[in-house]
Structure formats: structure tokens, C-alpha cells
Amino acid sequence: MPIVHISMRAGKPLAYRQALFDSFHRAMREALAVREDNQFMTITEHDPANFRYGASYLGVARSDDIVYIQITVFDTRTREQKEALYRRAVALLGESPGLRPQDLFVTLLEASKENWSIGNGVASFL
């Protein structure tokens, strides 16, 4: 049950943003066995004055095309699944919309199942 928040600089066309959604969702399906209809994703665009990044932090040469993706998931994923997600996301986002590997910044946050209510005011996964 991932929730995905994508942050980026404003100005990319609709097709680029939709490709971000589609490619990252495919990476989650392939690496984390996420269901096809499990698509809870947002994109937030920021003006350049409100978007900052370390252009060479830890030796990675980033550009203004950097995309932050924060994903919140159940705390049930293995290290291997997480590593597979990062690799698959770089590959698929490189294909479409053409994001450079250096410009993909992913953070994965884990939450136990009792911390989720996806509707109707109930702990959905207990």
C-alpha cells in the first residue's frame, strides 16, 4: 500500500509528469509486487526559488531536472526488494520520461500496518 509523493521544479509538460507516474508505478509493481490499481501518487511542482538541491552532494552530479520521490510503505519489504526498486526505477524513468540516473532521489519511509487507515475510519490492515 505505497503512497508516493513526487517533488520537482515546475515547467515540465503533462506527458513528462504522467511518465513519472507510470514508470515509477511500474517499478513498484515489478520490485515490490504492488497491485495495478494501487495508485496513490501526487506530484508537487516548485518554482526555482522554492526548490533547492545539493548539485554534487556525495559525489553525484545533479541537475535542475532532479526529482525527489518519497514513498511510504508497509514495514514488510526486504532489503533486496528495496534495492530492486531503486534499480528498476532508475531504468524505467531513464526510458520514460528520460530522467538521468543522477537526477532521481528516492527516500523510502516504512510504517507498520496499524498506522494505516485508507477509508471509513478503520485501521484497514489489522
What pLDDT digit, counting tens, does each position of 28-48 carry? Answer: 999 999 999 999 999 999 999
Predicted pLDDT at 108? 96
Domain boundaries, the chain: 3-115
Q: Which of 2, 13, 97, 101 is catalytic?
A: 2
Q: What is the pLDDT of residue 54?
A: 96
Rounded Cα distance, 101 and 99, in Å: 6
CATH code at 3-115 = 3.30.429.10
DSSP state string for 77-121: --HHHHHHHHHHHHHHHHHTT---GGGEEEEEEEE-GGG---STT
Q: Known catalytic residue: 48?
A: no
